[in-house]
Amino acid sequence: MPRYALKIEYNGAPFNGWQRQAELPSVQGAVEAALAMLEPGEHTIAAAGRTDTGVHALGQVAHCDMAKDWEPFRLSEALNYHLKPAPVAVVACAAVDDDWHARFSAEARHYLFRLVVRRAPLTHDAGLAWRVMQPLDLAAMQEGAAHLLGRHDFTTFRASECQAKSPVKTLDRLDIEELDYPGGREFRFHLSARSFLHNQVRSFVGTLERVGAGAWAPEDVKAVLEAQDRAACGPVCPPYGLYLRAVDYPDDPFA
């Protein structure tokens, strides 16, 4: 059966996450329903990462198997037609080898988290960024973030229901930039790793926000990391500022 890689963008607000769930809307369910409109029957797709309820994607990657050969552009156009009006779009499609796998062939995943500091509620970015009202110290957050880089036991930043076999991961990137924002400031957290634990990114950002607000010192991040205790973690921030930005493969199927 011909296999296709799909690069998918979505707004996670109306979905109970990526993974298909009985009687609850999911991104996976929406894409599989669109596939069934093209080739009747049951479809099961696999993705590079299972985003949580309310989390968005700019470059989620999934693969599907089809009964007939499709020209990739026509497949993406047909899927987008049947995905309407859901806030999901296939932005790229490519034919791949039968053994190519969206999850297991991936070698890096990149996330973005958007945090806006301002008193006024968000209008255009409501549901697309986390708003806090107190000023944040960029340098302090960057100093705290440096303690998280590299290979560590990230038990402190792992959700209790995480199904990963090991809490040991290697964090390759955690950069924070500060930008102008109408009536305030925006902080963008850029994170990269081969894989992440459940709630790891949101736990990092929630902890670093406490550092930026002055409630924690930057060196406290090192202490809670070394504690390897979930109870030591800072508050987990909301999902709606988080985006799966991109997924890397040894050979980019969309190049």
Catalytic residue list: 52
Q: Which two tokens stand for residue 172?
A: 């390759």
Closest by CA position to 88, among listed 21, 27, 34: 27
Do residues 55 and 239 make contact, with C-beta atoms less than 8 angstroms apart? Answer: yes
Contact 232, 221 (CB under 8 A): no
CA separation for the pair 65, 255 (Å, rounded): 20
CA distance linking residue 44 with residue 123, whole number of Å: 37
Pairing state of beta strands 56-65 and 88-96?
Answer: unpaired
CA-to-CA distance for 202 and 237, rounded, in angstroms?
5
Radius of gyration of the chain measured on its C-alpha atoms: 19
With 0-12 CB in 10 A as exposed, 13-18 as middle and 19+ as buried, what is 65?
A: middle
Report how far residue 3's alpha carbon sits from residue 160's, in angstroms, rounded to the nearest whole number.
35
